A and B are shown apart, each in its own frame.
Chain A
Amino acid sequence: MGKVTLIDRRENEHSIDARAVNSKEARELYKKREQIYPKLAHGTFRNLKWVAMIVLLAIYYVTPWLRWDRGLGRPDQAVLVDFEGRRFFFFFIELWPQEVYYFAGLLILAAFGIFLSSALFGRVWCGYACPQTVWTDLYIYVERWIEGDRNERMRLARAPFSLDKARKKISKHAIWILIAAATGGAWVFYFADAPTLFRAIFTGQAGVAVYLFVGLLTFTTYALAGTMREQVCTYMCPWPRIQAAMTDQHALSVTYRADRGEPRGPHKKNESWEGRGDCIDCRQCVAVCPQGIDIRDGDQLECINCALCIDACDEIMAKVGRPKGLIAYDTHVNVEKRQRGEQAGIRLIRPRTVLYAVLMTVVGAIMLFALLTRSTLDLNVIRDRSPPFVRLAHGGVRNDYTLKLINMAPRARRIRIAVSGLDGAHFIANGHSVEADGAIEVEAQADGVANVRVHVAAGAERGSHPIRFEITDTETGETATSASAFFAGNAP
């Protein structure tokens, strides 16, 4: 192999001995994993990836430490998932368990978001924002810092065991584990008061669950970003498999412009470019690829569209004096059009992208409206089902209901409960005092749910009748209503 490389070098000074791991020849039953040593790329997309990495990691690590004053006795963490108190705090928003539809809304938004981004720019999520990409990139950065770039790393891997090799390997894995621990450590801060938990973790005061999750996430971060890397994308992640449904022939994705590159082959200085393609087959695009693939084989499941091959190719094109963009964000349609000699173009505004954008706007607007108009008082009515109804000695029928008064305000309130919608329906006292106007008054604790079981009596007319409960804050007048049914069965 060394000999071949030498010949290549003589013919093509930029050539490198890199082979795609998913090439047809490399396949066998139960494939042994082929280590990939991505070379450092320089250029626009590499810089974009550095920025994305720094911003996303910063958001992840800093968010739990942001404070938000919610008053005495309430958490002052800006973003907090409080499982014990069954609340979710997000800056000025406080969500209760029954409001999980906001999360459904968020998931819908996220789904349309990824549809839209896929329809516009292909797998940008995979290439720049996916945690697997971000952490793997960080881990490769550490690896490169300690062991050097591609060639040095390959040499080190082949080198016999030595003190220097051990030093490098141990320090690399040590830093990886530190990063992994910091990752797992940051995750638990989203679920408890960060400064308190931080102290507790280091003084051994935190609960078993905390250490368990830190340990688990440390292990998964280390295993996935450190050792598994591209295997996660290729064998574990479902996204590449449903990708085909998300993009179309107009979506921009990292594309080798075969129309311009072929026929490829080595090129000597001062040789004419006539009658040949711009690709000099230097394999720099393969060498920089963290997925270890050859983009010139076309769109592939393994490709995460990180565009590092674009940077690598652009650099070579500049060196050999050809225009940049042999590999670029482009579409299949354009490649085919250029091959036919037609004018290529990019269509970002298409029915598909417009629809996604409109749907996102609609869902976002609905959520915003719901959020701005949400009440701090809510009522759920649960009709008791056993028995479905009870006949009373002096005629009439009684139904029982369990009312859940949800007081989302941070203060105790006196709540008045009234029943309406059915003639003659009235509360029967059993543990509650019925007021002169037929209503019941109860105390609802601050920031909690009050369970009130009430008995309602009415005439014994057969069948099911609609009935309404209304609760009113006696001070502010805020109300909430809930509909239920009054059931008299087939009583005579």
Chain B
Amino acid sequence: MADKIERDDHSGTDTTGHEWDGIKELDTPLPRWWLYIFYASIVAAIIYWVLMPAWPLANGYTRGLLNWSDRRNVAAEVQTLESSRAPMFERLAHASSSDLARDPELQEFARAAGESVFGDNCQTCHGAGGAGAPGYPVLADDVWIWGGSMDEIEHTLRVGIRSGHPDARLSMMPAFGRDRLLTDAQIGDVTEHVIAVSSARTRLPPDMRAAARGALVYQEQCAVCHGATGAGDRATGAPSLNDDLWLYGGSRAEIRRQIELGRGGVMPSWEQRFDAGTLRALAYYVHQMGGGEPDAGPPSPVAPAAGAPAPAIDQGQDEGATGNATP
């Protein structure tokens, strides 16, 4: 602080006595109305303390005279929102998939509602946009363990997988290694056979002699569910082994490990959690992700692109492996 008030000769204004690198701050007067607005702001703040919740206390906070509560307001707004959406969910619950196909308004509602429900409930395991994760099927690709029509998807959502629901979808792959159903050598042979019948054979050249031995074991132990050629079976939830998509990873060691341990995932049954309209919206959203299959009704008017491979929609497929899907 300067002891004496200094006057700036050029402007005739007193300085504040503060100096930075030779630059001194002028004590230029503010307009008085600014000062009054400052006082008014203090008064307004005090009025606000009295009227609105403001001060934190040891066991709560001051509530204010207006008894304002954002939590209550939000609850009321959510209530309003839900009742305003109820008629659309009602329509959705009673719409067949062909009704839905004809109704753009209902489609848009189902898509938006489905996306929101998916984000809250499904995304944790199946990933954003149905990207999947090892052990959790990719929903955005073109293969379905239990069927990819809207009705099949909705059924899976309702009953879940190994969920404890009486109609839950069950697929039981034996743990051939852990339970000593096959010897280590036999498991190795079957692994080579599985690779040989899948399109992974180009990147993992199989030992053909081992594969030939494994084929015999396969026909005895595996063909019941996965089919003689490895095409899989949707009725039992046995994935196709012919493609190169693997639920628990597509390396030789990972394929062998699956034969040893026979892992199977669990999906909750959502029937109790969601009403019919929400389930339909979710089924529609998952179907729309990209991998959905047409209903068993009239065939879709798909024409293959000239000179390009046919759009890949096929039956009884394994779920996509995602172990190396992340760039």
| Chain A contacts to B: CB under 8 angstroms | 24, 27-33, 231, 235, 384-396, 398, 400, 424-431, 433-438, 453, 455, 457, 487, 489-492
Contact = CB atoms under 8 A, between A and B. Distances in A.
Given A24-B11, A393-B245, A387 B127 contact: yes
B240 interface: yes
Contacts of A457: 309, 311-312
A32 B32 contact: yes
Interface of B: 11-13, 27-35, 127-132, 138, 140-143, 199, 203, 240, 243-245, 288, 290-292, 300-306, 308-309, 311-312, 314, 317-318, 320-321, 324-327
Contact of B12 (A27, A392, A394): A27
B143 A393 contact: yes
- Binding site of B, secondary structure by majority: helix, strand, loop or mixed? loop
- Binding site of A, secondary structure by majority: helix, strand, loop or mixed? loop
A231 B131 CA distance: 61
B303 A436 contact: yes
A231 to B, nearest CB: 6
Nearest 9 A/B pairs, CB to CB: A387-B131, A24-B12, A386-B129, A438-B305, A386-B128, A426-B305, A426-B308, A31-B29, A393-B243
Contact of A27 (B29, B128, B142): B29
27 contacts: A27-B29, A30-B31, A30-B34, A30-B35, A32-B32, A33-B32, A231-B31, A231-B33, A386-B128, A386-B131, A387-B129, A387-B140, A392-B312, A393-B142, A393-B312, A393-B314, A396-B312, A398-B141, A400-B140, A425-B308, A427-B305, A429-B302, A430-B292, A431-B288, A438-B306, A489-B327, A492-B324
Residue with the highest number of chain B CB atoms closer than 10 Å, among A28, A30, A427: A30
B309 A396 contact: yes
Given A32-B32, A33-B33, A390-B290, A384 B129 contact: yes
A388 B132 CA distance: 12
A435 B326 CA distance: 33
A33 B30 CA distance: 10
Contacts of A427: 305
B34 A489 contact: no
Contact of B306 (A395, A429, A437): A437
Given A387-B325, A391-B325, A429 B141 contact: no
Contacts of A489: 325-327
B128 A30 contact: no
A390 B13 contact: no
B320 A391 contact: yes
Nearest to A487: B327
